[in-house]
Amino acid sequence: MRPLPTGPAPAGPRADGSAGSALASPVPGRSAAAPHPTVRPLAPSTPLRLRIPALKVDAPMTKLALNAAGALEPPPDNNPVLAGWYAGGTVPGAVGTAVTAGHVDTRLGPGVFHRLGAVRKGATVEIVRADGRTAVFTVYAVEVYGKKAFPDRKVYGPSPRPELRVITCGGDYDRKTGYQDNVVVFAAMTAAR
C-alpha cells in the first residue's frame, strides 16, 4: 500500500513503542492465542460490510487477492472508505483466520482505517455477510510490526476457531518506500446474530 500522506497523522502506536507499502503475504503458521471464548462458526458467506463501532467505521467490502510477488493487494485507493478481505483465504465467521485490510490514507484523504491504531482491547469488529448474518469479533490485541520484520505466521496463521485480522499501514512514511510499519488488529469471534 503506497498512499500519499494527507491530512493529520494516523492514530495509534508505532513499532518502536511510540504513540504499513505492500502488506506481507498470508502464509500458514501459528496465530496469537485469543483469550476470549468463541461461538459456533458460521458457514462461509461473502462479507459485505465491516464495522468498528468504537471508531465509527462502517465500510463496504471488496475482494482482495495476492499480487505477482505473493503480497496481499490493498483495496483500490480511489475509494477511501473501502475495506477488503482476502478472498483466497478464510471467510470472516468461518473456522480459520480471515484477513481484512484497508488504507490508512489515500490521495483523496484519510482512509477507512486512519484511526485503526487507536482501537482498544475489548472493542468489537462486525462483519455483515451476504447470508444476512453478522459475525461479531472482539479485539484481543493491537500490534505494530515493521514491514521488514512482519510476522507472517503469527498474523496469517491458521486457527481452530473463527479469527479476524484487520490490517493497515502505520508508522513513519517514506516517499520512496511508503509506510514503514503495519498496524494489525487481532480479534476472535464472540457472537453471531
Look at residue 35 in the predicted model and tell me its pLDDT. 54
Instruction: Give a yes or no: residue 132 inside a domain.
Output: yes
Instruction: Give a yes or no: residue 141 inside a domain.
Output: yes
Q: What's the average pLDDT block by block, 10 residues per block, for the chain (193 residues)?
A: 37 42 44 61 97 97 92 89 95 96 91 94 98 97 92 92 95 88 96 95
Instruction: Give a yes or no: residue 29 inside a domain.
Output: no
Instruction: Give a yes or no: residue 34 inside a domain.
Output: no
User: How far is it, in rounded angstroms, from Cα 67 to Cα 75?
Assistant: 12
Instruction: Give a yes or no: residue 8 inside a domain.
Output: no
pTM of the model as a whole: 0.82
Q: What is the CA radius of gyration of the chain?
A: 15
Other Cβ atoms less than 10 A from the Cβ of 149: the count is 9
Instruction: Give a yes or no: residue 86 inside a domain.
Output: yes
Look at residue 29 in the predicted model and tell me its pLDDT. 40
β-pair type (178-192, 134-146): antiparallel
Amino acid at 186: F
Q: Are 21 and 101 in contact (CB under 8 A)?
A: no
Instruction: Give a yes or no: residue 38 inside a domain.
Output: no
User: How far is it, in rounded angstroms, from Cα 171 to Cα 160?
Assistant: 31
Residue 87 maps to which CATH number? Answer: 2.40.260.10
Look at residue 37 in the predicted model and tell me its pLDDT. 60
- Domain assignment of residue 176, given as a range: 47-192
Instruction: Give a yes or no: residue 6 inside a domain.
Output: no
Q: State whether the Cα torsion 16-75-66-5 is positive or negative.
A: negative
How many domains does the chain contain in total? 1
The runs of H, that is alpha helices, within 51-183 are: 152-156
